[in-house]
Chain A
């Protein structure tokens, strides 16, 4: 198989004017299609058809409360607001050959907090709003 294995060591994650690469340890761009049920009587197997497409960016990482460039200072004020742009590049950007994903979406959630003894984590989700610019 052609291609290369990508080890996620130097992921680039940008949201609006923030570089969150140093705060995140998990980043996932999900591009999905709704699965429509097209099963009719007389069939014994569920029939699915692809429907509308959706996408979102899910982030996990560590929060740094009190910092002007922390995930908390970015996401907490904008939960629920739309038009926020994100970029995700799975590797170090070394040239035009690198590929990533850019999207515009609504901040669905920002969830700080975890279990005792841990560095305070956060999770957040930006859901695509289906507009191009």
Chain B
């Protein structure tokens, strides 16, 4: 029996919860403390499903934005790909644009075949409407 419905064991894709610079940085940004340049779009760390198999599972994703500065729109999504280079990524989860602090959980994806070639690597992509903005937050995925 899996976890109770609604409780998900998750891995973080992007976690910037205590950084003074917040959700900004260069490609590959992960945990807070980044000193990378402020850019409009960045990609989080690549998460590889540990064991590629034909087992079909359900995928979940969500985010928390904890900073309270309002106004600037942040668009976030989660992509999967067949290789960690993400040459031809597929958008798996797309979140509603967020302009203030809050949390979202995307609609779960049924029957994720972890052995298929395009669902083995996951990453989060964040885009801010202004380069002057920064946020603190966490973006996660989970597979049950």
Q: Please list the residues of chain A having a beta carbon within 8 angstroms of any beta carbon in chain B.
A: 12, 14-19, 21, 29, 31, 33, 50, 53-55, 68-69, 84-85, 87, 89, 93-105, 128-133
Contacts and interface: CB of A to CB of B under 8 A. Distances in A.
Chain A interface mostly: strand
Given A96-B11, A132-B60, 8 more contacts: A16-B102, A31-B4, A87-B140, A95-B45, A100-B12, A103-B6, A128-B6, A132-B6
B119 interface: no
Given A16-B103, A18-B66, A132-B60, A97 B11 contact: yes
Contacts, number: 120
A13 to B, nearest CB: 10
5 contacts: A18-B101, A31-B3, A85-B64, A94-B31, A128-B7
Interface stretch (B72-80, B105-113, B126-134): B105-113
Given A93-B15, A96-B47, A133-B108, A87 B4 contact: no
B9 A99 contact: yes
B125 interface: no
Nearest to B102: A17
B66 A14 contact: yes
Considering residues B13, B65, B100, B103, which has the most beta carbons from chain A within 10 angstroms of its beta carbon?
B103
A132 B100 CA distance: 23
The 6 A-B pairs with the shortest beta carbon distances in the complex, nearest first, are A17-B101, A53-B4, A85-B103, A93-B15, A96-B47, A17-B102
